[in-house]
Amino acid sequence: MKEKKFEFSYEVYDDIKELNKPDAELLSKARHSTAGAYAPYSRFHVGAVARTVDGDLITGTNQENASFPVGICAERSLLASAAALFPNSAIETMAISYDNKNDGTKSDRPISPCGMCRQALQEYEVRGKRPLRLILGGQSGKIIVVSSTSQLLPFAFTPDELV
């Protein structure tokens, strides 16, 4: 028997002012993009903005539906747009924010992508052949930066399994 360990490091910032300029701009845009979410059922408005390696910006917001399972998260709506609009480019960094309109919490701490989005992000990273950085932050408060999205999905099911 061998025991193995999975671990990864991530960065935690106390405030957006501590981020470098491009990262701060991306998170600020993600915070504002939550206004475009369609979330009448959960009232949990999520917005994501990504920068490609060529400097193009792409936005995604959660889009809910009266038939609940039809709804899509902000991260996957962004990835679909990215793949359609820039099929030959890769995302360098994606910032994800939210505005919880139910709000006891004031949306003041980071959220991280759901399991389904982690799977989608992981495959997008494989396709792009480069790490996809994530900046996670609420409307205020602490910010987490993860240097590669696949770190959030150990033991991922990947395209390699299908060959």
44 with 153: CB under 8 angstroms? no
**In the complex, least distance from residue 45 CB atom to ligand THU, rounded to whole angstroms:** 8
Quick count: other Cβ atoms within 10 Å of Cβ 26?
A: 24
The residue from 113, 132, 137, 138 that contacts ligand THU (CB under 6 A) is 113
> Within a 13 Å sphere around the CA of 107, how many CA atoms are in the beta-carbon half?
21
Q: Is 138 in the site for ligand THU (CB under 6 A)?
A: no
Applying CB under 6 A, which of residues 36, 59, 71, 147 lies at the interface with ligand THU?
71
The residue whose two tokens read 């360098």 is: 92
Distance CA 115, CA 150 (A): 11
Which residues are annotated as catalytic? 75
Q: Assess 75 for contact with ligand THU (CB under 6 A).
A: yes
Q: Are 100 and 60 in contact (CB under 8 A)?
A: no
Residue 62 vs 122, nearer CB to ligand THU: 62
Q: Name residues contacting ligand THU, limited to 24-43 (CB under 6 A).
A: 39, 42
Task: Give CA–CA dist 48/54, Å, rounded.
Answer: 18
* H/E run at residue 47: strand 44-52
CB of 76 to ligand THU, least distance (A): 8
**Phi, psi values for residue 15, rounded to 5°:** -160, 155
Under rule CB under 6 A, residue 107 binds ligand THU: no
Q: How far is the CB of 12 from ligand THU (least distance, A)?
A: 18
Give the interface size with ligand THU as a residue count (CB under 6 A). Answer: 14
Q: Parallel, antiparallel, or unpaired: how do β-strands 91-100 and 143-146 relate? A: unpaired
Only segment of 11-19, 20-28, 110-118, 128-136 that touches ligand THU (CB under 6 A): 110-118
Q: What are the residues binding ligand THU (CB under 6 A)?
A: 39, 42, 44, 46, 62, 64, 71, 73-75, 111, 113-114, 117
